[in-house]
Structure 1
Amino acid sequence: MDAGQVTRTEVPEAFDEVAERYDLMVGMSPGYHAQLRASADALLSAIPDAAPVPAGGESTRPAGPLHLLDLGCGSGASTRALVEAVRRHATPGGRTAARPAAVLAVDGSPGMLDAARSKAWPSWVGFAQGRAEALAHQPELAAAREAGGLDGVLAAYLVRNVPDRDAVIAAIRDELRPGGVLAVHDYSVRGQPAASALWTAMCWSIVIPLGWMTSRTTRLYRYLWRSVIDMDSTAELEARLRRAGFVDVTTHHAGGWQRGIVHTVVGRRPADA
């Protein structure tokens, strides 16, 4: 049955319906994985303590691993992008010393987590079920909290889907260490008529029919179209981060055919907060 509309509170359950075929869907989206890699690189680049140490140089960075959170990890595409970014930033050219990392990937959909866990991962990557709205109660963050907080959070295709965006952004801020960085990767077309028209045409002519072909359901993909139309503009999303106390807020825009549609907003928790 493929009736009814998905609400923001029902998003994890809607992803369960398509989890087995979701990788097939995103694999048919040109640029999807490259855009996630670019956002993960933007996150790592904004964390000073993630920078590699030249051979023979002295490091003043904290001891222990870099604590990173992939919030809303889905089937693991964003987690893979984060792992690859850690490796690139740790050893460019193989001439630098790496700070070890610990990546926790969290999602509210059991089906998507099963798909993510089924893949091969380094020993320093872990997965846990949880909703962004309840981040403060996520027990798997205990090690990061004991170390002073998370160094970085990648939230890909998450903020658009939560019931209370301001509350989730504030909850992420509270889990970051002073100076920690948040990267919000998402679709946004508000205030851009050409991008809105392209998004609508793409969804109804390609994405929604492909959703039916791969999963025999279109509920999630109809919700995807509607949620992007309703999403904050990048200026509004930047303002949300600033209201939550983030500083150095900047936006990176995807190129190619999704220019004006996919963006990454990066902000930092103040070092003295």
Structure 2
Amino acid sequence: MTENKDNTTHFGFQTVDKTEKVHKVAEVFHSVAAKYDVMNDLMSMGIHRIWKRHTIACSGVRSGQKILDLAGGTGDLTAKFSRIVGPEGQVVLADINESMLNVGRSKLRDIGIVGNVEYVQANAECLPFADNQFDVVTIAFGLRNVTDKDAALASIFRVLKPGGRLLVLEFSKPEQEALSKVYDWYSFNILPQMGKMITNDAESYQYLAESIRMHPDQETLKDMMHTAGFEEVSYQNLTGGIVALHKGFKF
């Protein structure tokens, strides 16, 4: 799926004005922030932790580096990166949603992550950082919620240092039709009911299921990263393509 260049975009299966989507997505994550980690474990049966560990293993992050965990939410990747980069490095946990950022800040401080982590409320489409700042940028399960993904990829490219890399971990398109059917049934029948029981908010999880279907597939996102300037772009399907990890470099 390519980016829509007029003034409308998709919010799940709805067509909305681009300015409206930002507010609608914000409402979703304000609603789910407090229970976000619990729901992630339930929805994925804990597998999201494996996907994130794999992303960290593929990131090449080293001691002393500067990392941007974009749409970092409750800080799962930031916590690991903080320990890897050490006191000489820095991790910026950035999220557009204040509620998610507050949950992430509290969670990380509770587990003793202080000193080398900065918290920034930021829109991925226009990052408030100077050019060539970061060794690695990650965005895990956040790109599909961005209104203008092309703008976000260009903004990420700008703030990466030459030689830096981007990793995009995101729900994608299952490789097998049988898996796709099971996944669709689970997403549209089970997830909203979980959301209703755990967060009293079925609608937000209905949106999240729909947003996955509207997200560009693996090859389309690969092409979008190339267009933004990234080189050696590749992707790896995880769990049969339910999730894909895209990687690209700035040279």
Where 1:118 maps in the other structure, the secondary structure is helix
Report the structure number with the largest CA radius of gyration: 1
Shift of 1:5: 6.3
Who is 1:41 aligned against? Answer: 57
Shift of 1:191: 7.1
Who is 1:58 aligned against? Answer: none
Contact 2:175 2:240 in 1 (8 A): no
Who is 1:16 aligned against? Answer: 30
Q: Which runs of 5+ in 1 are unaligned?
A: 53-64, 88-97
Where 2:29 maps in the other structure, the secondary structure is helix
Taking a change above 3 Å as real, the CA distance of residues 75 and 167 of structure 1, as seen in their structure-2 partners, is: same
Shift of 1:99: 8.6
Shift of 1:79: 2.1
Taking a change above 3 Å as real, the CA distance of residues 102 and 124 of structure 1, as seen in their structure-2 partners, is: same
Taking a change above 3 Å as real, the CA distance of residues 219 and 32 of structure 1, as seen in their structure-2 partners, is: same
Structure 2: which amino acid aligns with 1:230? M
Where 2:241 maps in the other structure, the secondary structure is coil
Who is 1:133 aligned against? Answer: 125
Q: TM-score, normalised by structure 2?
A: 0.83
Q: TM-score, normalised by structure 1?
A: 0.76
Answering whether residue 162 of structure 2 is matched by residue 174 of structure 1, we say no
Match of 1:194 among 178, 181, 187: 178
Where 2:165 maps in the other structure, the secondary structure is strand
| Match runs of 1:37-186 below 5 Å | 37-44=53-60, 50=62, 65-83=64-82, 86=84, 100-119=88-107, 120=109, 121-135=113-127, 138=128, 141=129, 145=131, 148-186=132-170
Who is 2:10 aligned against? Answer: none
Shift of 1:260: 1.5
- Work out the CA distance in 1 between the residues paired with 2:80 and 2:181: 29
CA deviation digits over 1:61-85, x for unaligned, max 9? xxxx31100000112223234335x
Structure 1: which amino acid aligns with 2:28? A
Runs of 4 or more off by more than 6 Å in structure 1? 4-7
Who is 2:234 aligned against? Answer: 250
- Work out the CA distance in 1 between the residues paired with 2:223 and 2:105: 35
Shift of 1:204: 2.5
Taking a change above 3 Å as real, the CA distance of residues 78 and 11 of structure 1, as seen in their structure-2 partners, is: farther
Report the aligned-residue RMSD. Answer: 2.3
Where 1:154 maps in the other structure, the secondary structure is strand
- Work out the CA distance in 2 between the residues paired with 1:202 and 1:188: 15
Q: Which runs of 5+ in 2 are unaligned?
A: 1-12
- Work out the CA distance in 1 between the residues paired with 2:221 and 2:99: 29
Who is 1:95 aligned against? Answer: none
Shift of 1:33: 1.2
Who is 2:6 aligned against? Answer: none
Who is 2:240 aligned against? Answer: 259
Match of 1:214 among 198, 202, 205: 198
- Work out the CA distance in 1 between the residues paired with 2:174 and 2:211: 11
